[in-house]
């Protein structure tokens, strides 16, 4: 796919149509302008400026030390390289939990920096905050299942929703977030069958899986994991697309193609 600087930016309405048509969404994390342009050129429709930059860019053990200053800087960089793709900025730990007003204030910073949607972690207890922001013009991507900012409280990086009680909670979370107006929800480390149920139940909210099986409306991977350059421990849901392709551009294109065709994630990448 060629890079078209004058291509019309993708909108929330475009993603709703894609969900309704069963067309998979390809999301990748991005942290700078050069990769933003390359990812977009090879077909990625959504660029997530993730607080995962704490791990893969800053070398930290978790995402909790990432600041709003960090996020604003990287959103600005990615937004300069993106023309068509939807840029989503993560609200970092401590920037939205205090109050809905705090969340809106910081979301507005990311929007001013170039994001066209913000992402926050948390289930039904965040629904009021989500509704508050959506009502004021800020599109929201939610994030449930394994929520990295809460990894210490969760006791580590563990699959969520395996018990009956856990599955019921995730279903309640997803419903509450959709009713609050969330346009997307990332499902992280959730059993594939449960992710399929959540996707079928969501009428307007697109589900984006990472370690949640192939039945989600789309998939996301951390850029460095997709290219096999992050030296940390490898999760089951990761795949090194560089290993089978001769260039970074070819690896990105292979990832997008595999997502679109429903070939990634395969069974070995799911729970």
Token pair for residue 9?
């930016």
HEC profile of 82-117: CCCCEEEEECCCCCCCCCHHHHHHHHHHHHHHCCCE
Known catalytic residue at 188: yes
Helices (H), the chain: 12-21, 33-41, 53-56, 68-81, 100-113, 127-134, 151-154, 164-180, 192-201, 223-226, 248-260
Token pair for residue 263?
């070939």
188, 197, 244, 268: which one is catalytic?
188
Cis peptide leading into 265, omega within 30 of 0?
yes
Token pair for residue 179?
């009713």
Count CA atoms within 13 Å of residue 124 on its CB side. Answer: 8
Residues assigned a catalytic role: 188
């Amino acid at each position: 796919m060629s890079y078209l600087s004058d291509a019309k930016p993708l909108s929330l309405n475009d993603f709703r149509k894609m969900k309704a048509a069963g067309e998979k969404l390809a999301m990748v994390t991005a942290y700078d302008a050069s990769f933003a342009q390359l990812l977009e050129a090879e077909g990625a429709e959504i660029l997530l400026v993730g607080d995962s930059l704490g791990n893969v860019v800053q070398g930290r053990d978790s995402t909790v030390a990432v600041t709003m200053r960090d996020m604003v800087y990287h959103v600005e960089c990615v937004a300069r390289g993106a023309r068509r793709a939807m840029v989503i900025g993560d609200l970092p730990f401590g920037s939205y939990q205090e109050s809905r007003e705090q969340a809106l204030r910081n979301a507005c910073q990311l929007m001013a920096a170039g994001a066209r949607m913000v992402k926050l972690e948390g289930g039904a207890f965040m629904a009021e905050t989500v509704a508050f922001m959506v009502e004021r013009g800020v599109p929201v991507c939610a994030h449930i299942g394994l929520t990295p900012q809460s990894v210490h409280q969760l006791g580590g990086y563990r699959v969520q929703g395996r018990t009956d009680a856990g599955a019921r909670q995730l279903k309640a979370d997803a419903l509450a977030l959709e009713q609050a107006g969330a346009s997307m929800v990332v499902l992280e480390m959730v059993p594939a069958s449960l992710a399929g149920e959540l996707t079928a139940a969501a009428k307007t909210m697109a589900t984006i899986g990472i370690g949640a099986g192939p039945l989600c409306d789309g998939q996301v991977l951390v850029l460095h994991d997709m290219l096999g350059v992050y030296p940390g421990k490898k999760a089951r849901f990761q795949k090194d697309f560089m290993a089978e392709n001769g260039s970074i551009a070819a690896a990105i294109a292979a990832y997008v193609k595999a997502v679109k065709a429903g070939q990634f994630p395969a069974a070995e990448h799911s729970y």
